[in-house]
Structure 1
Amino acid sequence: MYKVEPMLPSDIFSLDWVNLDEKSESFPLSYYLYYLVNHGEDCIVIPSLPEYKTSFTYKRNVCAYMIGKLEEKDGFINAHISAVSVAPSYRKNRFGRLCMSVIEKSGDVYNAHFADLYVREGNITAIEFYKKLGYAVYRKVFNYYVDGDGENALDMRKSLKMDRNKVCMARGADIQASELK
Structure 2
Amino acid sequence: MATIRPMEPTDLLRISATNLDHLTETYNIGFYLEYLTKWPELCQVIEGIDGEIQGYILGKLESSPYAPPITPYSPSTTGVQYPNYLPWHGHITALTVAPSARRLGHASALSSALERSSEAAEAWFVDLFVRASNEIAKELYRKMGYSVFRTVRDYYNDGEDALDMRKALGRDVRGETVREGGERWVVGAEEVW
Q: Give me the TM-score of the superposition, normalised by structure 2.
A: 0.83
Alignment gaps of 5+ in structure 1: 52-60
Structure showing the higher strand proportion among its residues:
1
User: What is the aligned partner in structure 1 of residue 18 from structure 2?
Assistant: 18
Q: Does the aligned pair in 2 maintain the 1:39–1:69 contact within 8 Å?
A: yes
**Size of the alignment, in residue pairs?**
170
Structure 1 residue aligned with 2:76: none
**SS of 1:118's equivalent?**
strand
Aligned to 1:28: 28
Using the aligned pairs only, state the percent identity.
37
Conservation of the 8 A alpha-carbon contact between 2:4 and 2:47: yes
| CA distance, structure 2, for counterparts of residue 66 and residue 136 of structure 1 | 19
Q: Which amino acid aligns with 1:23?
A: L
Matches within 5 A, 1:42-57: 42-51=42-51
Alpha-carbon separation, structure 1, partners of 2:166 and 2:146? 5
Query: What TM-score, normalized by structure 1, do the two folds share?
Result: 0.89
State the 1:75 CA deviation: 5.8
* Cα distance between partner residues in 1 of 2:47 and 2:19: 15
- CA distance in structure 2 between the partners assigned to 1:13 and 1:35 by the alignment: 16
Quote the Cα distance in structure 2 between the aligned partners of 1:49 and 1:31: 28
Q: Tell me what 2:164 maps to.
A: 155
Amino acid at match of 1:120: R
Structure 1 pair 140–75 and aligned structure 2 pair: CA distance change class (3 A) = closer
Preserved CA contact (<8 Å) 1:70 1:107: yes
What is the SS of the residue equivalent to 1:22? coil
Deviations 1:37-91 (A, max 9, x none): 111111000112323xxxxxxxxx3101000011124362111000000111111
Runs of 4+ in 1 over 4 A off after TM superposition: none
**Stretches of structure 2 lacking an aligned partner (at least 5 in a row):** 65-84
1:64 corresponds in structure 2 to 55
